[in-house]
A = this chain, B = another copy of it.
Amino acid sequence: MFSIQKKLAGKLGRVGLLKTGHGSIETPAFVTVGTKATVKALTPRQVKETGSQVVLSNTYHLYLEPGEKIIKQGGGLGKFMGWDGPTMTDSGGFQVFSLGGKGSSKIASSKQHSNILQNVRMFPGEEQTAPLVKIDEDGVTFKSYKDGSAHRFTPERSIEIQHAIGADIIFAFDECTSPHAGKEYQREAMDRTHRWAGRCLKRHQQLTTDNQQPKPMLFGIVQGGRFQNLRKESARTIGEMDFDGFGIGGSFDKEDMGNAVRWVNELLPEEKPRHLLGIGEPTDLFEAVENGCDLFDCVAPTRQARTGSLYTKHGRFNIENAQYRNDFAPLEEGCGCYTCLHFTRAYLAHLFHSGEILANTLASIHNVYFIVQLVKKMRQGILEETFFEHKREFLDSYKK
């Protein structure tokens, strides 16, 4: 399913090809996020034109709306959303643990602890009073961010939902810890994630029938937080299991992300693909590619776009600033995206100031194109042995 075509000399980085039931992904590749079975503000055709090869949706959101049954009836995620390329779903773990608390705090806003909880992303271990996300060995009980109704995910249930949604690549259900979790809690959560990984794999194997074509791929998730020995232990444990690939989840010390990823990727089986979850900052992407990650997903390009924050090789700028009202240059000189080829900064500024829907679309096209093409260039850099020149040139120019 995954073949390595070339390696980055002296490093873990590599160029590969990942075959899925809906076409191949040339890696390294940025995975465009379509949380609720839509890349926000973009048609599938517009997504394709950014160069995006694969779209990742969110199991937690799709389970709540429209429900996995509707998606299955509609022919599975790709067909349902009109995307004919490869698809992924994450396991819902991150959202259960983050939004599960957030949603409950909103709904409990009249209660005494609401002031503390509001606008705080809650993780287990950070609760002030009653737990909002209840974890036990078997699974997690959480509340819907939409209406406060109670729901329960177990590793098996997550896999069942993901099989119904029907993406090409699915993820094991893991426990996401707070970035502030101490080592003791981190170990506890990691050990549970490892036990859950085994249950996910078992349920996945039960649900995958011999004559099923194409078969979904299941990626296990490495956890361990900021702790080197936990990360290594997690990589060894998950790496030995019969997964089709791996996700690297949880939080890192940002300054040391390259090293943290390296600890993990040195131990994971080389011949299987690795997905760094939720990472999309350009400078982080260089570190991740150099240190052996093949896939990355992040909501940042589209989310930033909708606030008017646009990527360029010199860093991000906000189109709503007054100076762009009569700036008739494209968003970025030399950019080949649909937006830059047809519209000016002044026009985008007008759309944003007027609150026009098209603002979201044109800005998202540009940002997704920027990130997708950036990772494509890294791939090209490995193939042509110019990766480090490309990296140096980019980092010299890009201001975070």
Binding site for B on A (CB under 8 A): 36-38, 40-46, 65-66, 70, 73-75, 80-82, 325-326, 328, 338, 342-344, 346-347, 349-351, 353-354, 356-358, 360-362
Neighbouring B residues of A325 by C-beta, 8 Å: 66, 70
**Chain copies in the assembled complex:** 2
Check A356 against B44 for contact (C-beta < 8 Å).
no
Query: Does the CB pair A350–B66 fall under 8 Å?
Result: yes
* Alpha-carbon distance between A374 and B66 when the two chains are bound, in angstroms: 33
B82 lies within 8 A of A343 (CB) = yes
- Contact indicator B73/A328 (Cβ below 8 Å): yes
Give Cα A82 to B338, complex, Å.
11
**A311: min CB distance to chain B, Å:** 20
A sample of 19 inter-chain contacts (CB < 8 A) reads: A36-B350, A38-B354, A38-B358, A40-B356, A41-B357, A41-B361, A42-B358, A43-B46, A43-B338, A66-B325, A66-B346, A66-B350, A70-B350, A74-B346, A74-B347, A75-B328, A81-B347, A82-B347, A357-B361
**Most chain B beta carbons < 10 A, residue from A75, A81, A357, A358:** A358
CA A44 to CA B73, docked complex, whole Å: 34
Task: Give the residue among A38, A46, A343 with the most B Cβ atoms within 10 A.
Answer: A38
What B residues does A350 contact at CB under 8 A? 36-37, 65-66, 70
Most buried by B among A42, A65, A350, A351: A350
Query: For A328, what are the chain B residues with a Cβ–Cβ distance below 8 Å?
Result: 73-75
